[in-house]
Amino acid sequence: MKFLHTMIRVGDLERSVDFYTRLLGMKETRRRDVPEGKYTLVFVGYGDEASDCMIELTYNYGIEKYEMGSAFGHLAIGTDDIYGVCDRLAAEGVKIPRPPGPLKHGTTVIAFIEDPDGYKIELIERK
């Protein structure tokens, strides 16, 4: 078995695609519009769908906002320059509720950012 993707619902598809591709450096690997079902799917990620896990952005026509609920935690992304990434994202207006710094009682450096729909993304420095 293999982990293929995680699906999140988004309120503005192009805004979310821009966030994940332009700001986080992912690539759009495929898009499928289903007018009869009133939804569009866009897959984004850092590699190829055949070998890497993706994020499936699901836009349901006419729905601009979703309730986050209390069960979802976060997505996690590794980076080799967490401070530089956070500086660049802050300049773009990205919310950073937990600025980069070491974990309490640890040495791993993390930060938390939010995507345009409020999903939390943990950045983990991996040198």
Residues tagged active-site: 122
Give the C-alpha separation, 38 to 61, whole Å: 5
Q: What single DSSP character describes residue 103?
A: P
**CB atoms closer than 10 angstroms to residue 93:** 8
Q: Is the dihedral of CA 36, 42, 48, 51 positive or negative?
A: negative
User: Is the CB of residue 111 less than 8 Å from the CB of residue 94?
Assistant: no
Q: Which two tokens stand for residue 27?
A: 């690539």
